[in-house]
Structure 1
Amino acid sequence: MIRERLKLIFIYGIFLGLYSCSYRNEKKTNFEVIFNPAMLEKVSYQMVNQQVFSQKCISCHGDSGGVNLESYSSVLGHLEKIKQSTIKDRSMPKSPYPKLTEADLILLATWIQAGGPETALDGSTQPPVQTEPLKPTFKSIQQNILQKKCLICHSPGNEAERVTLNSPEEMIDSPYGIIVPGEPDESGLVLVTLPAARKLMPPPKSGFAALKPEEIEIVKDWIAKGAKD
């Protein structure tokens, strides 16, 4: 009787092991295969860049982090890393930024499955999205720079919350000398973004791309004009 019970337990254990392996393999397969076959001929870099890279990735990566996403040739050279981090591991974008939506993942996976074409394989094109250029106004700087690269740390509950960047008035009144109206070369908002800054912002370890020279010039122009709305 005891022998029969041990035999049953042994057989049950083997069954559970086989079922578990089968489940893991099935889950992995379903997890990875999410591309849309009907879209393979239509996807292009322009489409993926407009919906995914420029909207949810470039503010962090830009030309930093070892994975440049600012040009087609660079993205093409990192297809395996992109596939691993976004589709397989789903570790990108990093918290607290929102994860890619299911539509984002399907589009990205379909494009990678198609070989990462620069233009659609069927020759179709789509009109480029019109983006408003960065201007020397607080609203434009806030939307294109502060919200994307700064407020993740400079907000309540985060490590740099004491240095607030929510309004021109707060930055002008700050004891940290964030903005000196009319004096961009004396303003901390400019000084910490210069390549030679002792404490460069955004910090390199954060993974955010450093401000481009043209972005710094826009910020300087805004401060030089009085740092008003």
Structure 2
Amino acid sequence: MIGKISAFVFGLAVLSASAGEVSLDKDLLPLFQRSCGTCHAPDSGIRGAIKGGAFFNEKKDLLGKVGGPIVAGKPEESGLVKVLAQEVKFGKKELVMPPPKSDAPAFTAEELEKVKAWIKAGAKDN
């Protein structure tokens, strides 16, 4: 019985460690660089993608969006989540990011959940 209990407790420890806090540096920044940075970097030369400072290639770019399209603690109200989930419409057109013409991969459901978890935890500089 002791062996079963310790295996159960060890299993919970592994589960809680893997379900830890999402890191902007380690977990999210590489995803944003992969899927957004090609167009949304200051040196991309894509005027529409960088209009109004729509940069998403560096940590400071993402943290600069907290209070705007990133609503700390509220992923369901964050425009960034809606864009990544491809749920934003302008009239009859949808805003799909990354655009279909781009070679950049869209965020998977699992990756989008990481973004939501980071925002829900307060969109911290971690």
Structure 1 and Structure 2 fold alike (TM over 0.5): yes
Matched, 1:185 2:76: yes
Moved over 4 A (4+): none
**Rounded Cα–Cα distance in structure 1 between residues aligned with 2:69 and 2:98:** 14
Cα displacement string for residues 149-174 of structure 1 (whole angstroms, at most 9, x for unaligned residues) = 1111111133222212332431215x
SS of residue in 1 equivalent to 2:95: coil
SS of residue in 1 equivalent to 2:113: helix
Gaps of 5+ in 1: 1-134
Given the two structures, how large is their TM-score scaled by the length of structure 1?
0.37
Alpha carbons of structure 1 residues 208 and 223: separation in structure 2 relative to 1, 3 Å: same
How far the C-alpha of 1:220 sits from its partner, in A, is 0.2
Q: Which fold has the larger relative contact order, with Cα–Cα distance below 8 Å and residues 6 or more apart in sequence?
A: 2
Alpha carbons of structure 1 residues 164 and 195: separation in structure 2 relative to 1, 3 Å: closer
Question: Which of these residues, 75, 82, 85, is aligned with residue 194 of structure 1?
Answer: 85
Matched, 1:153 2:44: no
**Rounded Cα–Cα distance in structure 2 between residues aligned with 1:169 and 1:209:** 22
- Which structure has the greater CA radius of gyration? 1
Hey, what does 1:142 align to over in structure 2? 29
Determine which structure has the larger strand proportion and give its number.
2
**Rounded Cα–Cα distance in structure 2 between residues aligned with 1:206 and 1:169:** 25
Hey, what does 2:120 align to over in structure 1? 224
Superposed, 1:158-177 pairs within 5 Å as 158=44, 159=46, 160-161=49-50, 162-165=53-56, 166=58, 167=60, 168-173=62-67, 177=68
Cα displacement string for residues 156-196 of structure 1 (whole angstroms, at most 9, x for unaligned residues) = 133222212332431215xxx32110011111221001144
**Rounded Cα–Cα distance in structure 1 between residues aligned with 2:87 and 2:70:** 19
**Rounded Cα–Cα distance in structure 2 between residues aligned with 1:169 and 1:219:** 13
How far the C-alpha of 1:209 sits from its partner, in A, is 2.0
Letter in 2 for 1:157: D
Superposed, 1:31-42 pairs within 5 Å as none
Assess if the C-alpha contact under 8 Å between 2:73 and 2:120 holds in 1. Answer: yes
Given the two structures, how large is their TM-score scaled by the length of structure 2?
0.64
Superposed, 1:17-96 pairs within 5 Å as none
Assess if the C-alpha contact under 8 Å between 1:184 and 1:190 holds in 2. Answer: yes
